[in-house]
Amino acid sequence: MTAAVRLRGLDKRFPRVHALRGIDLDIEQGEFFALLGPNGAGKTTLISILAGLTRASAGTAQVMGFDVVKDYREARARLGVVPQELVYDPFFTVRETLRFQSGYFGIRHNDDWIDELLANLGLADKADTYTRRLSGGMKRRVLVAQALVHKPPVIVLDEPTAGVDVELRQSLWAFIRRFNQAGHTVILTTHYLEEAEALCGRVAMLKEGRLIALDRTENLLRAGAERRLVLELEPARLPDDLLPRLTGRDRARFVLDLPDYSELEPILSSLREAGIAVRDMEVGQADLEEVFLKLMRAGPGSVP
Amino acid sequence: MSVGFRTLLYKEILRFWKVLVQTVGAPVLTALLYLLIFSHVLEAHVQVYPGVRYTAFLMPGLILMSVLQNAFANSSSSLIQSKVSGNIVFILLPPISHMEFFLAYLFAALVRGFTVGLGVLLVGLFFADLEMAHPPWILAFGLASGAVFSCVGIMAGIWANQYDNLAAVQNFVIMPLTFLSGVFYSVHSLSPFWQTISHFNPVFYMIDGFRYGFFGQGDVDPWLGLAVVVPCALVLSALTWMMLRSGYKLRH
């Protein structure tokens, strides 16, 4: 099967920045894929090249098998992009904006689908409102609708939930998830790592223009960070035999290393023997944020 | 014509149509003021062509000047607004070809220019009767000249980084070229030196040929004018299309 997105040796130099340094990446059809990285890692540059807004210095990018430069019309017809910037055209209403966007993609009489998009994005009562009168969150939703007017097989969302309230975030993701379940490939960049963790099957992490991690989300979680045990103790001290496990302490709260659950029982019995009571206990699971921070601290190229 | 092209053209026309007072009303009023003041001052003193009142002589020049300035204004201001506000991505993301992009902005600018030109003509008819000796010449020079300024507008809009850049083009290129082209006078009234200079201004041929269509007389042969203006329009169209194809300042 043709890859939804295929990047080969993708390289981009701006006058002062080497934004992408030879990216090779395949994203398969139907994936829910996250592209993570700190500001300036090259995420938006990568997406811009895919969308034809930026031209690569070297290498190639394909969308559904179509080269984004040579077959730009075929590639663009198969791609829907929600840009990061909150842009809108103040001259037009929401419905006009969506009708125009449909027309640009060669679709006439798209009102049934436009109405469905508006309903799903909570914009039904704003159809005839000028986009300049909408709140930031609503402008964002119009951008999502614009990216979906032509039901693209590949949907790219660049920081789609920045500045969007929690309730909308939930409904937006529910809607995008339905697209994904219907077979559309979804690629997102986000600063909210818990979103990527909850939604995405596979994660790529970018740092200084290089791909430093690429794996299924659960593998990254497993490999990336150890489990840890947080205990609140009375009295606030630790028996000597547990001291090597100590990784952090905040007054009566002790953070211990816990590579495996089987080591939980010996720790507790050691505390019992020392006459130390456990007031509170919490087993911390590794989350994507920890993995992310750990990888970002490590040198470039250290793929786990 | 493709749906994408038609949609973009329609959007571009609707854009200025929604603010008609600004985009058509204001330039018609400006032209009307020129007409009132210049005809008041000069009507009794100047007769450029035998049997043609100065007010009538002035009108074709004013009409075409309005067409040209507004064709330029339409494409350039639309593009700079889209660039500054960022909504240019709405037309950069879809599969619109470079030629469709070019033609949509060109035709929309012509529609705006001709709408204003027609407005000036209608208002002007209250002040002077205007014959139309050769309508095909009027149309030919109107279209070719309008196309030249539409193209300049597209290129300026893409080149400009902010409104100031565009105002500079407007004030230092467009205004001098149109004002010194013989809109208000016949170049025959100038000294030989300035006559020669005027013949290097392509806008002179546009105005002169356009006026020939009304009165059947002009400063130069209209065929010579056409031989200057049409190649200008073709060369600028090609340059504009190449600029769009290169992605200059649009796709980095």
The residue of chain B nearest to residue A88, with distances taken between CA atoms, is B87
Do A192 and A217 lie in a common domain?
yes
**pLDDT tens by residue, chain A, 304 residues:** 899 999 999 999 999 999 999 999 999 999 999 998 888 889 999 999 999 999 999 999 999 999 999 999 999 999 999 998 899 999 999 999 999 999 999 999 999 999 999 999 989 999 999 999 998 888 999 999 999 999 999 999 998 877 677 777 888 889 999 999 999 999 998 777 778 888 898 999 898 899 988 888 877 777 665 677 888 888 888 888 888 888 788 888 888 887 777 888 888 888 898 889 888 888 776 667 777 777 777 755 444 4
pLDDT of residue A223: 67
Residue A296 lies in a domain: no
Same domain, A77 and A189: yes
The SS3 of residue A290 is helix
Q: Say if residue A185 is in the same domain as residue A128.
A: yes
The pLDDT score that the predictor gives to residue A251 is 83
Closest residue in chain A to residue B245, using alpha carbons only: A69
Number of H helices, E strands in chain B: 12, 0
**Residue showing tokens 């709405």:** B90
B251 touches chain A (CB under 8 A): yes
Q: Do residues A229 and A238 make contact, with C-beta atoms less than 8 angstroms apart?
A: no
Strands A154-158 and A185-189: parallel
Residue A198 domain-assigned (yes or no): yes
Q: Which of B76, B106, B92, B84 is nearest to B247 (CA)?
A: B92
The interface predicted TM-score of the complex, written ipTM, equals: 0.90
Q: Mind listing the pLDDT tens digit of every residue in chain B (252 residues)? A: 799 999 999 999 999 999 999 999 999 999 999 999 988 888 777 778 888 888 899 999 999 999 999 999 999 999 999 999 999 999 999 999 999 999 999 999 999 999 999 999 999 999 888 889 999 999 999 999 999 999 999 999 999 999 999 999 999 999 999 988 888 888 888 888 888 888 999 999 999 999 999 999 988 999 999 999 999 999 999 999 999 999 999 998
Q: Chain A neighbours among B 65-94 (CB < 8 Å)?
A: 82, 85-87, 89-94
pLDDT one-digit tens code per residue, B80-137: 999 999 999 999 999 999 999 999 999 999 999 999 999 999 999 998 888 899 999 9
Tokens of A182: 């219907």
Spell out which residues of chain B touch residue A104, defining contact as CB-CB under 8 Å: 4, 7-8, 90-91, 94-96
Are A235 and A213 part of one and the same domain?
no
Q: Concatenated DSSP letters for B121-188?
A: HHHHTTT-----S-HHHHHHHHHHHHHHHHHHHHHHHHH-SSHHHHHHHIIIIIHHHHHTTTSSS-GG
CATH of the domain at A262: 3.30.70
Residues 6+ apart with CB under 8 A from A69: A52, A55, A56, A60
Q: Give the closest residue to B201 by CA, choosing from B227, B220, B176.
A: B176
According to the 3-state scheme, what is the secondary structure of B55-72?
HHHHHHHHHHHHHHHHHH
Tell me the residue range of the domain where A255 lies.
Answer: 226-285
B106 with B153: CB under 8 angstroms? no
- Minimal CA–CA distance to A107: which of A149, A148, A141? A149
Looking at the structure, do residues A253 and A174 belong to the same domain, yes or no? Answer: no
List A residues 64-103 in contact with B (Cβ-Cβ < 8 A): 72-74, 76-77, 79, 81, 83, 85, 87-92, 96-97, 99-103
Residue A98 pLDDT? 97
When CB atoms are compared, the residue of A83, A99, A105 closest to B94 is A105
> What sign has the CA pseudo-torsion B88, B93, B98, B100?
negative
Say yes or no: A10 and A51 in one domain.
yes
pLDDT value of residue A302? 44
The Cα-based distances of A222 to A211, A225, B160, B244 in angstroms read 19, 7, 52, 49
* pLDDT value, residue A282: 83
Does some domain include residue A236?
A: yes
C-alpha–C-alpha distance, residues A71 and B8, integer Å: 21
Q: What residue of A is the nearest CA neighbor of B85? A: A87
Chain B: closest CA distance from residue A4 (Å): 17
Q: Which amino acid belongs to residue B49?
A: Y
The total domain count for chain A is 2
How confident is the model at residue A300, as a pLDDT? 52
pLDDT of residue B173: 92
Interface check A275 vs B, CB under 8 A: no
**A and B: number of Cβ contacts within 8 A:** 86
Residue A303 within a domain: no
Say whether B85 and A79 touch across the interface (CB within 8 A): no
The length of chain A is 304
A167 and A43 both lie in a single domain: yes
Report the candidate in B140, B123, B141, B121 with the shortest Cα–Cα distance to residue B131: B121
In a domain, A16, yes or no: yes
Q: What are the chain B neighbours of A114 within 8 Å (beta carbons)?
A: none
Domain for residue A301, yes or no?
no
